[in-house]
A and B are shown apart, each in its own frame.
Chain A
Amino acid sequence: MVDLALHGQSVVTGEIRSRAKILDRLRIGDAVFRQLTRAAAVMVLVILGGVMISLVIGASPALREFGLGFLVEETWNPVTERFGAIAPIYGTIVTSFIAMLIAVPVGLMIAVFLTELCPMWLRRPIGIAIELLAGIPSIIYGIWGLFVFAPFLQQYVQPALIGLFGNVPILSTLFAGPPYGIGVLTAGLILAIMVLPFITSISRDVFDAVPPMLKESAYGLGCTTWEVVRYVVLPYTRVGVIGGVMLGLGRALGETMAVTFVIGNAHRISASILAPGTTISATIANEFTEAVGDLYTSSLIALGLILFVITFIVLACARYMLMRLERRIG
């Protein structure tokens, strides 16, 4: 405005013209930016679709040969080329279940401790330690699991478990057999350690976002810490917490190297969780390099497709659960 007053009409029109030009340029910039971001977003869809299509094409010889029986057949025999996926599917689900059974409560407890109870000076060291835990490559967990953790389980923990539950009806089958050290339980425990940091750090971040006023009010009404966590913090943060749990579950389902090292890689379903088993990703990692013959390779790809579908179902269930929660709370 000051400019206008000083320089007169002609300058003003020039000014307007150049301003229009600048605006045009900005508009083009905006459009380019929009297209770029859209392209990036579309790329995700294209990649996802591409993976899906190539998995289906790769798996089709096996699926044509075995049909739906592929999903329930336990045989995995490269010699006679009879393949079935139930043993790896079972192993994948059981190891992830054991992992979540341990990691979810422990992870949430750590997060509650860090946000509600921990003295200030201890918060940073524990927080950093947990983030470092998330940064350890899975092969390290595998080697540590095989060389340190499995012998420890074999010598101390598993004989104790077998002895403890030897006469209890159902638990005796669950903890039966010779203590190999490696097996389904060991894989589940290693996975629990691996997914713990995801659950903890995400829960901690969302717990931190709870408005202090809500918590202070609850404390003011005489609530205990447990009651504050149970009735204020958790309901307020449930979306974030479930997100963290799902992220952890996703990692547990797909984890390959660490599991391959400690699960025992046997294509069998055993009632005992001390017995060796296998998972989908471990089977693929183990056998893909030396898989000769179209049906063998195709069966391995079909396993990959099944893992893809399992992950998809888990995510969909999580979404659905969240939606229902939202609606009920209103």
Chain B
Amino acid sequence: MRLIHTVAAAALVSAAIIAPASAVDISGAGATFPYPIYAKWADAYKKETGIGLNYQSIGSGGGIKQIQNKTVTFGASDAPLKGDDLNKHGLVQFPMVMGGIVPVVNLEGVKPGELVIDGPTLAKIFLADIKSWDDPAIAKLNPNVKLPNQAIAVVHRSDGSGTTFNFVYYLSDVSADFKSKVGVNTSVQWPAGIGAKGNEGVANNVANTKGSVGYVEYAYAKQNKLTFTKMVNKDGKAVAPTSETFQAAAANADWKSQPGFGVILANQPGATSWPMTAATWILMYRVPQDVANSTEALKFFDWAYKTGGRMAEELDYVPMPANVVKDVEGTWAAEIKDANGKPLYSVTN
């Protein structure tokens, strides 16, 4: 029922954003994963400045198409664009907020955080190479947990999603077998299991199906009180999914190694890093046509970086680390300019 409340709240928020069509309204479209936090920020920002944000969560693919057609001020995507694509369309890309993806299980007598899984084992489960919960590979990681002789029911996303993208990116990173058999995309050809629509669909199917395993964003695991697992990270340490371990992964990442900050936070080094952390990106034009709206959008993003962190944590998102924010804002000043070559917005710290 938490779900229904969330949906109702989101509907109210969007109604509040749409209702008074004031002078400048920022328009954006794209990823569904960050929608709740964008909506919350938009509501708070509207109260503070009177400037509204109209964000349509139509999916990352849709967001990329919309920004390429110039129907919105910014696009949003869970999968980063490659440097070539950014240059081809004259786009700037920067990360806005992060979240964690957690494996969830439904096993009788197993409490949240009790089960430990490592990447290669998780990949084998989703490849259906490991079919039963009492498989030696799982038992070896969990000497103190009583594992039943029960078939594993795999639950995955049926709709294309950034969550899937980040999840299979991680599995491909740790398992060559998974990489060759499944690969990386927002939707993939799963060798086994049932597909459910949206995070809420996966959460519900895992909650209903005994012996099941799935993957959801952390917020859904927490709100639905699902049994999440610990993961063994790149440094070989078992970590629990928390705001701290997500942030550790982000802090240890080398953000400048990819154009447009397009670093995927899977399997980052660090003793306390959660291996399946995911960022979500904003796409804007280097030389935007609607200068006024784009300037307002940058002001909004700046405000969200500086004052939106607590709101993000309330919704179980992870704010960007300060050093990354500084780099992003440097990029704005250096790259987003009007037709005369003057920067649209320079951050005054």
Interface set of A (CB-CB < 8 Å, partner B): 75-80, 146-147, 150-151, 154, 178, 180-183, 260-261, 264-267, 276, 278, 282, 286-287, 289-292
Q: Which of A80, A260, A261, A266 contacts B183 (CB 8 A)?
A: A80
User: By the criterion of a CB under 8 Å from any partner CB, how many residues of chain B are at the interface?
Assistant: 31
Task: Give, as a whole number of angstroms, the nearest-CB distance from B16 to chain A.
Answer: 24
Q: Which of A180, A267, A286 contacts B189 (CB 8 A)?
A: A267
Sample of 4 further A-B pairs with CB below 8 A, known A77-B189, A290-B161: A79-B185, A79-B188, A264-B194, A266-B193
Cα–Cα, bound, A178→B201 (Å): 19
Cβ A265 vs Cβ B189 within 8 A: no
- Which residues from B are CB-within-8-Å of A286? 158-160, 187, 195, 197
Cα–Cα, bound, A278→B182 (Å): 19
Cα–Cα, bound, A187→B311 (Å): 40
Cβ B195 vs Cβ A289 within 8 A: no
Cβ A79 vs Cβ B61 within 8 A: no
Cβ B160 vs Cβ A291 within 8 A: yes
- Which residues from B are CB-within-8-Å of A265? 158, 194-197
Cβ B194 vs Cβ A276 within 8 A: yes
- Best-surrounded residue of A264, A266, A290 (most CB of chain B within 10 A): A290
Cβ A260 vs Cβ B189 within 8 A: no
**Whose C-beta in chain A lies nearest to the C-beta of B187?**
A78
Cα–Cα, bound, A278→B187 (Å): 15
- Which residues from B are CB-within-8-Å of A76? 189
Cα–Cα, bound, A267→B189 (Å): 8
**Whose C-beta in chain A lies nearest to the C-beta of B4?**
A143
Cβ B186 vs Cβ A292 within 8 A: yes
User: Which residues of chain B from 166 to 194 have any CB-CB distance to chain A below 8 Å in the complex?
Assistant: 182-190, 193-194
- Which residues from A are CB-within-8-Å of B58? 289
Cβ A290 vs Cβ B59 within 8 A: yes
Task: Give, as a whole number of angstroms, the nearest-CB distance from B281 to chain A.
Answer: 14
0/1 per residue, B25-59, Cβ < 8 Å to A? Answer: 00000000000000000000000000000000011
Q: Do most interface residues of chain B lie in helix, strand or loop, or is the interface mixed?
A: loop
**Whose C-beta in chain B lies nearest to the C-beta of A264?**
B194
Interface check B62, CB cutoff 8 A: yes
Task: Give, as a whole number of angstroms, the nearest-CB distance from B153 to chain A.
Answer: 6
Cβ B208 vs Cβ A290 within 8 A: no
Task: Give, as a whole number of angstroms, the nearest-CB distance from B6 to chain A.
Answer: 15
Cα–Cα, bound, A261→B208 (Å): 14
Interface check B331, CB cutoff 8 A: no
0/1 per residue, B323-343, Cβ < 8 Å to A? Answer: 000000000000000000000
Cα–Cα, bound, A313→B159 (Å): 29
Could you name 18 residue pairs across A and B whose Cβ atoms are closer than 8 Å?
Answer: A75-B189, A78-B186, A78-B188, A146-B204, A150-B208, A154-B209, A180-B209, A261-B197, A264-B194, A286-B195, A289-B58, A289-B59, A289-B61, A289-B159, A290-B59, A290-B186, A292-B160, A292-B186
**Whose C-beta in chain A lies nearest to the C-beta of B193?**
A266
- Best-surrounded residue of A75, A80, A151, A265 (most CB of chain B within 10 A): A265
Cβ B208 vs Cβ A151 within 8 A: yes
Cα–Cα, bound, A79→B160 (Å): 12
Cα–Cα, bound, A261→B197 (Å): 7
Cβ A266 vs Cβ B194 within 8 A: yes
- Which residues from B are CB-within-8-Å of A77? 183, 188-189
**Whose C-beta in chain B lies nearest to the C-beta of A261?**
B197
Task: Give, as a whole number of angstroms, the nearest-CB distance from B98 to chain A.
Answer: 20
Cβ B196 vs Cβ A290 within 8 A: no
User: Which residues of chain B from 191 to 250 have any CB-CB distance to chain A below 8 Å in the complex?
Assistant: 193-197, 201, 204-205, 208-209
**Whose C-beta in chain A lies nearest to the C-beta of B200?**
A146
- Which residues from A are CB-within-8-Å of B193? 266, 276
- Which residues from B are CB-within-8-Å of A264? 194-195
Task: Give, as a whole number of angstroms, the nearest-CB distance from B151 to chain A.
Answer: 6
Task: Give, as a whole number of angstroms, the nearest-CB distance from A145 to chain B.
Answer: 12
Cα–Cα, bound, A77→B186 (Å): 11
- Which residues from B are CB-within-8-Å of A150? 208
Interface check B272, CB cutoff 8 A: no
Interface check B273, CB cutoff 8 A: no
Cβ A266 vs Cβ B190 within 8 A: yes
Task: Give, as a whole number of angstroms, the nearest-CB distance from A300 to chain B.
Answer: 10
Task: Give, as a whole number of angstroms, the nearest-CB distance from B163 to chain A.
Answer: 11
Cβ A147 vs Cβ B204 within 8 A: yes
Cα–Cα, bound, A180→B193 (Å): 10
The answer to whether residues A290 and B160 also contact, given A182-B194, A264-B194 and a CB cut-off of 8 A, is yes
Cα–Cα, bound, A289→B29 (Å): 12
Which 4 pairs, one residue from A and one from B, show the smallest C-beta to C-beta distance?
A290-B160, A265-B195, A265-B158, A289-B59
Interface check B60, CB cutoff 8 A: yes
- Which residues from A are CB-within-8-Å of B189? 75-79, 267
- Which residues from A are CB-within-8-Å of B184? 79
Q: Which of A182, A261, A276, A289 contacts B160 (CB 8 A)?
A: A289
Cα–Cα, bound, A134→B158 (Å): 28
- Which residues from A are CB-within-8-Å of B209? 154, 180-181
Cα–Cα, bound, A266→B194 (Å): 6
- Which residues from A are CB-within-8-Å of B201? 146, 261
- Best-surrounded residue of B187, B188, B196, B205 (most CB of chain A within 10 A): B187
